[in-house]
Amino acid sequence: MKQFFWNKILNRVGVIRLLLLFTLSQANGNDTLLSPPSSQGNIISVGIITPEMPIGNEVVIGKVNKSEKKMGDSHFKGMVGNAINLDHTIVQSFEDSYITPFYESHNYENYSGILKPKLFLKPVIKSLNLELQGGKLLKSLSGKCNISCTWNIYTANDKNKIISTININSMVERKEENYELILHTLIRQSAKDLLAIDTLHNYFEQLQLKYLAETVGAKLVVKGAKANDALTKKEAFKLAKDAAVTISTQNGFGSGVIITNDGYIITNHHVVADSGEIKVRFNNGTEFNAKLIKSNPDFDVALIKIESKTDKLMSFGKDDNISEGDQVYAIGTPLDKSLNQTVTGGIVSGKREINNISMIQTDVTLNEGNSGGPVINETGEILGIATMKLSGAGIEGIGFCIPSGVVIKALNLELLN
């Protein structure tokens, strides 16, 4: 499967910047960014769409030494700058905030759905009003610069439909010896003023949660397994290993877990996405074809099904009952198919929020191929589905799984016992 990377993790308490490798148990890599929680709460990934500036060339946008300047004045236009070159400046403007910015031009299909932006921002520059004085060079110009900018908000599933707009009017007092293009200075100030809205974080969270709630699809009723408290730990682990499967596609392999007698299997979306033929192999070597029933890329979960009856299945535990320090185990097929149903143990390190999606952090060893496999408690119940880990120089034991309750909600499953 594919690999994903955290370009940098910013420690906003101090000034530490670490380059970390973010592995999603897949085989090819792309860069991505994730930041830790800020004082304002949950970090929100936001895509930045290239700005527009629908100001005609004949529109007066200000004065230089009391002489009117139009947008199309060639020499002056070079000092103002062009909207299509503002992406990098905008991304930089958001980096030390609760917004994790992504360029729209990134190939988001190669990112984990959990990390991908659910919301997108597109600045539209409505007007400029510049009152400058100085010489003919950009560095000599000083004075007041005003910008009126509308920040349009879209969701990831329709970047043509504006769901909300925020109008920001900003002013910058430009000083001499400033070599930055005027438009870059102004858009940075507009982004800063946008972030200064004290209700913005909560508003973005509500939009993000609404989007996530709309991704779950129609309800699917399945008959799940009953918890069996009478099993010994040895018996529970034997059943768990038999219920864990290896999932192979043209893109590689991952893991999964059987949750019903009639062959429904939970795994990660990225394990089976765009995969064509899906093969499922049991612990005893038996192999079946599977079909994709339902998938939620934003939560990185999927439901597949084989046409076979089995009594090797696992029940979901209640992830809200777990606490830091609780013992947990991961079952999967790490690194090579010959290592199928490998069990690794560790503890729950914490509970995290990534893009308003609850995650369980654990120090259980996860490797390529573990994606989609169950993370269980000592009675063999599914507490979560392994999805990703951090690795790199000096980094050990930071893995994440999707809690069982989140998996069920993301696929809109109703489990009958």
Name the token pair of 261.
């007698």
Contact 190, 149 (CB under 8 A): yes
Spell out the alpha helix ranges (H) of 273-374: none
Q: What are the structure tokens assigned to 289, written together?
A: 């074809």
Task: Report which residue type is found at 275.
Answer: S
Q: Give the pLDDT confidence of 51-86 residue by residue, as tens digits.
A: 999 999 999 999 999 999 999 998 888 999 999 899
Specify the pTM: 0.83
Per-residue pLDDT for 25 more than 70? no
Q: Which whole number is the average pLDDT over 341-363?
A: 86
What would the DSSP string read from start to end of 229-254?
TTS-HHHHHHHHHHHEEEEEETTEEE
Q: Mean pLDDT across the stretch 364-374?
A: 80
CB distance 183 to 83 below 8 Å:
yes
Q: CA geometry: angle at 402 spanning 105 and 331, to 5°?
A: 115
- In Å, how far from its chain's centre is CA 227? 32
Q: Is 113 buried (19+), middle (13-18) or exposed (0-12) by CB count in 10 A? A: buried
* Residue bearing the bigger pLDDT, 80 or 388: 80
**Which amino acid is it at 319?**
D
The answer to whether 330 touches 291, Cβ cutoff 8 Å, is no
> From residue 233, how far is each of 378, 391, 408 by CA, in Å?
6, 31, 25
- DSSP symbol at 356: T
The confidence score (pLDDT) of residue 273 equals 84
Cα dist from 261 to 23, 224, 403, whole Å: 32, 7, 22
The sign of the torsion formed by the CA atoms of 154, 157, 161, 163 equals negative
Which DSSP state fits 231?
S
Tokens of 156: 């990831």
Residue 91 has a pLDDT of 93
